[in-house]
Amino acid sequence: MKDPAPKLPRNFTWGLAGILAVCALVAAVAANGRQSEKGAIEGWRLMEPVRYENLSVFPVVSKNVAETGGFLTLDEALSTGQAAVTERGGEAMRRTRDGQPSPPQYQGDTASVNQLVLINRAKKPLILLAGELVSGGKQDRIIAKDRIVPVGAPPLPLDVFCVEEGRWTNASGFTSSSVIVHPSVRERAAVDQAQSQVWDAVASGSTASPGTAGRSVGGAPVAAPMISRESIDATIQTDAPTQAYQKVYNNPHVNQSIDPFVEEVQKRFAAATANLKGEHVIGVVIAYGGEVAWSDSFASPELFQRYWPKLLRSYVIEALARPRVKEQATLAEAQEFLRPLQGAEKTESEPDVYRWREVTEGHYADIQLVALRPADMLLHRLKIHRTT
């Protein structure tokens, strides 16, 4: 009969337990440290809203931000000649070693409504956001979805949607418009990916809560939108026969309320965020009346500021195109809006360049653009309460 296994001294047993406990504690601290670090980088809080008329803007602020100076925006690249956009069909140019244009390289056959060709000549990666407008060519178009175009990439077949239904004739080359279409149109491109719905949204102003003017919400009357379908139709008939987005929404009949609204919101937003201590504005959550509807947030305040002027204008156009109500969304509702979704997921990626991810749950969609170099970085997050 074998001797029973020797028993460890009690003090040795406690010593081993203590060692295991310490190891577990160290592992937990390390894990918590990683979580804390991640939370600090990705962490955010919402400020009280800036309100004007039926629009509420909740600033998203963070203490820790990423370095995003190594990226170019589409507007910056086009306006400085560091990027070019052309129609398909042998019109694209490739970049030579000295950076000068050379004969066509892209093997497209004919021009296409829903595809252009883009070349990045810059020494920085190029960020494209869904809904950004490029003007010219045979039609004005908007970018179909967020992506990054790396340095030295070959001419890129670029998915787009037309926002000028009535023209298919050559115009000047594509130029920067410094415009991002308002949420009703942007949603149709970014989520629905449907050309006919993009055209419908341009012509209707807002696709949210149609026909509610004259009714009441929570006992309060609903006033007609300041940008009405009738005013858009009249503008198209007289001054924008091709239904070009810029001509419609820059026309005096439609635009008379946009600029004063933008100026007032910007003034209030600047005052509300002027005295932040150790925090920076990296995005916003947008509510129309009592509906929290939209959010754009970025990896850094610097990147947010580069997009903020045209984003604000897009939010204002949407506000003016929606029925006016007295109801207001609360801070708690805006915080709940930013919770992660649990639903159907789609992903796209280009190795060592970017990862695109969309999650949909019910009426909500959450779209994230992650840069993979120089390190994983959530460059842009778009959250939508869909109107369809």
DSSP-derived letter for residue 277 is S
DSSP-derived letter for residue 72 is E
- pTM exceeds 0.75: yes
Residue 371, SS3 per DSSP: strand
Section 122-130 average pLDDT: 97
Q: What percent of the chain has pLDDT over 90?
A: 69
Based on C-alpha coordinates, what's the Rg of the chain? 25
Ordered alpha helix ranges (H), the chain: 10-42, 74-79, 183-187, 195-204, 229-238, 245-249, 252-255, 258-272, 301-321, 331-337
Summarised one tens digit per residue, pLDDT across range 312-323 is 999 999 999 998
Summarised one tens digit per residue, pLDDT across range 4-15 is 444 444 443 334
Residue 301 vs residues 74, 141, 205, 383: alpha-carbon distances, Å: 18, 28, 30, 18
Q: How confident is the model at residue 109, as a pLDDT?
A: 52
Section 13-34 average pLDDT: 35
- The region of weakest confidence among 142-146, 209-213, 301-305, 382-386 is 209-213
Q: Report the distance separating Cα 280 and Cα 278, nearest Å.
A: 7
